[in-house]
Structure 1
Amino acid sequence: MTDSDNLQQIAHLRREYTRGGLRRKDLPEQPLDLFEHWLRQACDAQLPDPTAMSVATVDENGQPYQRIVLLKHYDRQGMVFYTNLGSRKAHQLENNPRISLLFPWHMLERQVMVLGRVEKLSALEVMKYFHSRPRDSQIGAWVSRQSSRISARGVLESKFLELKQKFQQGEIPLPSFWGGFRIKIDAMEFWQGGEHRLHDRFIYQRDGEGWKIDRLAP
């Protein structure tokens, strides 16, 4: 099969979206209420990693980067994830706090996009979550200087075993280079697949103390 044949096959991959629609009359006033409903349905459907989200940041040259991160908490204050503060995404967020998230719930023919700005979590919030993690995950946070170059996987494995021995007894301390971010939400867009590519898209945008809701063309 030639490259041209492969491209032709990809170009013709499509299917109808038939799981249901989304109507303006059914939307709650608060976007997080709809997000919570959809997330619960994603969990009930036993989708793999329903809290996985693509996190997009931009470097100092305007180059976008994306990676998958797990959502760990959300409420009216925003959405929370944790990371190594020396990582590429953390450095980029220090220079440009604007961020975009995407929850790709393909099996339900849905996706949710979030636009906002980040703020660092307090040391108390970070410590509380860190010590709720499995012990090996806490050690893993110490092992990885995220985004730094390493010669081989064996470097990580050796360091993990070394630190597991070191922290064999007692509480594992919180690394100074590990923390988290809260996304203060400016907008949320909900996408529900529809037949004949007539998808339903609604965007919530902050409007004073409330939210302005608009339907978008698919």
Structure 2
Amino acid sequence: MNPEAPTRDYLPLEERRERLLDAALSVVAESGVAALSLRRVAERADVAHRVVTYAFGSKTALVEAVLHRASQRALDAVWAGDLPLDDFAESVRLSLHGLARDLRRHESEYRVVSELTASARAHPQLRAAAQSEIAASTRAIAESIERWSRMTGRALTTPTPVVAAALRASVDGLVEWWLSSHDERVLDDVVEVLASAFIGREADHERPHTAEEQGR
């Protein structure tokens, strides 16, 4: 056995996929969306082209995976788990402020993902990837709202799918506005205005009576 021969880096598929997704973002950040391809990702990650093909199969699947991961990371930053408060609008307000903090921290990644998303929406072969991402993230928001409802025993007067879509629209609008304007002076105020749209969406809620109150 030749001791000088390089050892192969055998990684679990999910870990390898994560590294390839990082490489895809690096390609877009350095050379633009037009440069993104399975071959360029392979070169960037220093792996054989067949490795990227095996992991994703096509450029469409690669783009979809990049967008889904970025969306999940943003949701994790915004929601930070389940909505914590009985007051739904206050929960949304805190969550959108969480997004603002994440935007400040990771602006470059948001910018790359925004560029990739815009390109995918405009490209007939990649449009399905962008649509898949927004549908998945809206479902995830709806599931978070439903968990909040079960935990608090409260309900919204507006159907959950509509509220989830409005929240996703608020997130998208805030991200795109920030990336375009970079107006730090009013970012937090903009969040407050967006959050105010969710005030008064809860149905009337009566506190359950205690045993003592019921006996009166």
Tell me whether the two structures share a fold, i.e. TM-score over 0.5: no
> Greater share of helix residues, 1 or 2?
2
Q: TM-score, normalised by structure 2?
A: 0.31
Q: Give the structure with higher Rg (CA).
A: 2
TM-score by length of 1: 0.31
